[in-house]
A and B are shown apart, each in its own frame.
Chain A
């Protein structure tokens, strides 16, 4: 009976861990979204230097979460987010007013994708099954 109790406990811990993982990812993505919003607003106001600094803060936060992301996220997803960050940074450095809205959209799309995939929904479960 001891082994079964240990297995049940381990399973509950794994479920709890999964829930904590989702909460942690929500917090990370939520914080990054806020900082991206600040950056985009500054870019809308024409202050590209400040927008780039705000973006750098978001990038720094993403980099600091590197231990977590490298353990729990697929590397192609990490690469996609980082590519989007650097692409957007480059656009803000060039002060390209036409390109930055789509670049912000692209980065948000990748961040949302990571977050959505970890949430338990029919779409995320079935997508994995049918892929």
Chain B
């Protein structure tokens, strides 16, 4: 029992480290090789957990090997367009200027039901309003409407919109993030002053506080715990 426990911990942290080193792409939309690696790693890692007769090394070695292969493939495909196209394919234009390319749909084994379903998921219900629909290499369908069907931007209407910039989190669950404070050109004394104005004596009582470049503040205090 102790052996299984220890092996599980080892494999867990080995997987965590491997996926961390492989990067964010493994967690988001995956390309083909990334999907293969993710599926294989999970299955291979489980074997030494189920059978203590299998050496631990037999579980870790495939993980290391797959990690190396994935990093090498990712690096090579970054450098070579041809290799990228060979391994991951190319995006397919299923709708071009409102016209459905049925040959491309057959080639990608993409049915009309799936096309309409993906369009609905992106808020497009009328095919005649779609200028482009592109099936990406990771399987996502991106839908682009005709400019006359998209909401106008402030620039199109000749309006100027205030730009507050990206709000930075300065307090997260009671903890002050000084790095973000410095990034917005503020400091802890400014923070305390702002909190005092809102009758908050301690940053630990703040659940979330954000500040944007224009100085706009969002603040949410912590709710009292049940029974308190």
Contact = CB atoms under 8 A, between A and B. Distances in A.
Given A73-B55, A75-B53, A14 B75 contact: no
B71 A3 contact: yes
Contacts of B61: 14
A76 B71 contact: no
B79 to A, nearest CB: 9
B55 A4 contact: no
B68 interface: yes
A62 to B, nearest CB: 17
A20 to B, nearest CB: 13
Contacts, number: 44
Best-surrounded residue of B57, B64, B69, B71 (most CB of chain A within 10 A) = B71
Interface of B: 21, 52-58, 61, 64-65, 67-69, 71-72, 74-76
Interface string A74-86: 1110000000000
Nearest to A3: B71
10 contacts: A1-B75, A3-B71, A4-B71, A4-B75, A10-B64, A72-B55, A73-B55, A74-B54, A74-B55, A75-B52
A70 interface: yes
